[in-house]
Amino acid sequence: MACTLLLAAAVVAGCAVGLSGATDHIVGANHGWNPNINYSLWSGNQTFYVNDLISFRYQKGTHNVFEVNETGYDNCTMDGVAGNWTSGKDFIPLPDARRYFFICGNGLCQAGMKVAITVHPLPHTADLHDNSGSDQVPPAAAAAASGGLTVAVWQTVMALAATIVAVA
């Protein structure tokens, strides 16, 4: 019984994370993180927002990912290293609205294994007006833009957890 309740709580928590609105951008889509791929073209077709994730998929031990500054990106060097990842399934959070620069540090940056992205701030509720000319924002859109949906979902999860503890 306790295992069932714990499983139910885990499922609800997983749903809450899924409803938070963050997008996981898989670099290179089905091509992954490999040499001789045009990552500028890939990133140009993506829209990144604060709290999204960028994911790198590659064979562990063959490649890696370094976050560098613009000079490191342009010259394929380790200038301004801000992080490195080596798991082969790297999920990197994008917490700030700014430019991010990623390269492969195994000497393959020159073969195209580098990507620059621009992360945008979350849209404001003022940007969510409908086309009817009204200045009112639909409540669901306002909640989603302000993070209210996430708060509401987490409040539900916490209430469910409290109920489970009380019943158990």
- What pLDDT, on a 0 to 100 scale, did the predictor assign at position 9? 40
Kindly state whether residue 157 falls inside one of the protein's structural domains.
Answer: yes
Q: Are residues 6 and 67 in the same domain?
A: no
* Cα separation, 121 vs 72, whole angstroms: 25
Residues paired with residue 83 on neighbouring β-strands, in sequence order? 67
pLDDT tens-digit series, residues 87-101? 999 999 999 999 999
Q: Are residues 82 and 40 in the same domain?
A: yes
Kindly state whether residue 105 falls inside one of the protein's structural domains.
Answer: yes
Q: Are residues 8 and 60 in the same domain?
A: no
Residues paired with residue 114 on neighbouring β-strands, in sequence order? 103
Kindly state whether residue 144 falls inside one of the protein's structural domains.
Answer: no
* HSE-CB of 161 using CA atoms within 13 angstroms: 10
| Surface-to-core class of residue 13, CB atoms within 10 Å of its CB (0-12 exposed, 13-18 middle, 19+ buried) | middle
- Mean per-residue pLDDT for 148-155? 39
- What pLDDT, on a 0 to 100 scale, did the predictor assign at position 4? 43
Instruction: For residue 78, give the CATH number of its domain.
Output: 2.60.40.420
Q: Are residues 39 and 86 in the same domain?
A: yes
Count CB atoms within 10 A of the CB of residue 64: 21
Q: Are residues 95 and 60 in the same domain?
A: yes
Q: Are residues 95 and 161 in the same domain?
A: no
pLDDT tens-digit series, residues 96-124? 999 999 999 999 999 999 999 999 999 87
Q: Which domain holds residue 90?
A: 22-123
Which residues, at least 6 apart from 56, have a Cβ–Cβ distance to it below 8 Å?
27, 32, 33, 65, 85, 89, 90, 92, 102
How many domains does the structure of the chain reveal?
2
Q: Are residues 8 and 37 in the same domain?
A: no
pLDDT tens-digit series, residues 10-63? 333 444 444 468 999 999 999 999 999 999 999 999 999 999 999 999 999 999
Cβ atoms of 119 and 102 within 8 Å: the answer is no
What is the reported pTM? 0.65
